Amino acid sequence: MNILVTNDDGVNAPGITALATALRSLGRVAVVAPDREQSAIGHAITLHHPLRADQIADDVYAVSGTPTDCVNIAIHNLLDFKPDLVVSGINRGANMGDDVTYSGTVSAAMEATLMGIPAIAVSLATAGEGSNYDAAALFIRQLAQQVIKQGLPPDTFLNINVPDLPRGCLKQPIITRQGKKQYQGAIVDKIDPRGRQYYWIGSIDPTFEEIEGSDYVAVSRGHISITPLHLDLTNYASMDILRSWELSTQS
Ligand code: MN
């Protein structure tokens, strides 16, 4: 089995090290990841300047770009194999609910899915630096074997959120839906040393809606959350409503 591992926390983050170490018992693992933190970069791709990829160990590359850049450069240029699976993570901090749209971790898995390669994004739901990456990595090793064996539905990848708990304390995995975060004012609004106003988007302890079956609820109860995501964002239910509008090029 050939696996590509990437992330958005940077090639030296503890999460990616734990993940790659656990997956190496399944086959060949190549790590191609940003050379620095790229969290909240979303699905950005670098078009306006060249990128460098430095090999820093056997099958480990540091790329001066985004997670999406990493997946592209890995598959098209760096690797001498096509991966059977792409795993992105383990992110420091959860990627649940609406936050998945900001996530570089999730976007790397999205990019692999666009290329037709099965993909998993995995995040450790921690408010701090995270303590239990190894426990999450062991679960992902098991899940990776299942994904290779069973395949994934078309256009679908898995977004995994693991509570930051020791292995023996993790509750069974639950298949979940994307939940809803409750937004609170978290933007710092101050005056800089030159007397000019600045804004700094922060994050405060997230609160979430108690939607039964959601990723947030599962993780808050100590379960591993598995959300199947797909890339087609079309809201099919709204298409008929919009078709009833009277729209014309003639008026
Ligand atoms: Mn991150």
Nearest to 86 by CA among 66, 68, 64, 62: 68
* Mean per-residue pLDDT, 118-139: 97
Tell me, in angstroms, the distance from the centre of ligand 1 to residue 10's CA: 8
For residue 235, give the amino acid letter. N
Task: Tell me how far apart the 2 most distant CA atoms of the chain are, in Å.
Answer: 66
pLDDT band at 204 (very low <50, low <70, confident <90, very high): low
Tell me, in angstroms, the distance from the centre of ligand 1 to residue 70's CA: 14
pLDDT digits over 215-240, tens only?
A: 999 999 999 999 999 999 999 999 99
Q: What's the angle, vertex CA 63, arms to CA 62 and CA 64, rounded to 5?
A: 125
Give the pairing of strands 156-163 and 119-125: parallel
Tell me, in angstroms, the distance from the centre of ligand 1 to residue 147's CA: 23
Tell me, in angstroms, the distance from the centre of ligand 1 to residue 172's CA: 24
Tell me, in angstroms, the distance from the centre of ligand 1 to residue 175's CA: 23
Tell me, in angstroms, the distance from the centre of ligand 1 to residue 48's CA: 23
Which residue segment(s) compose the domain that 24 sits in?
2-180+209-243
Tell me, in angstroms, the distance from the centre of ligand 1 to residue 9's CA: 4
Q: Would residue 122 count as lying in a domain?
A: yes
Q: Would residue 199 count as lying in a domain?
A: no
Q: Would residue 160 count as lying in a domain?
A: yes
Tell me, in angstroms, the distance from the centre of ligand 1 to residue 4's CA: 17
Tell me, in angstroms, the distance from the centre of ligand 1 to residue 94's CA: 9
Tell me, in angstroms, the distance from the centre of ligand 1 to residue 115's CA: 22
Tell me, in angstroms, the distance from the centre of ligand 1 to residue 246's CA: 45
Residue 194 has pLDDT above 90, yes or no: yes
Supply the pLDDT for residue 185. 66
Q: Would residue 149 count as lying in a domain?
A: yes
**Percent of the chain with pLDDT strictly greater than 70:** 98
Alpha carbon distance 22, 141 (integer Å):
6
- Residue 221, C-beta contacts closer than 8 angstroms, at least 6 positions apart: 171
Cis peptide before 90 (omega within 30 of 0): yes
CATH number where 176 lies: 3.40.1210.10
Q: Would residue 137 count as lying in a domain?
A: yes
Tally of structural domains, the chain: 1
Mean residue pLDDT across the chain: 95
Q: Would residue 78 count as lying in a domain?
A: yes
> Is 67 exposed, middle or buried, given 0-12, 13-18 or 19+ CB atoms closer than 10 A?
buried
Q: Would residue 200 count as lying in a domain?
A: no
pLDDT band at 214 (very low <50, low <70, confident <90, very high): very high
Q: Would residue 147 count as lying in a domain?
A: yes
pLDDT digits over 55-114, tens only?
A: 999 999 999 999 999 999 999 999 999 999 999 999 999 999 999 999 999 999 999 999
Supply the pLDDT for residue 183. 73
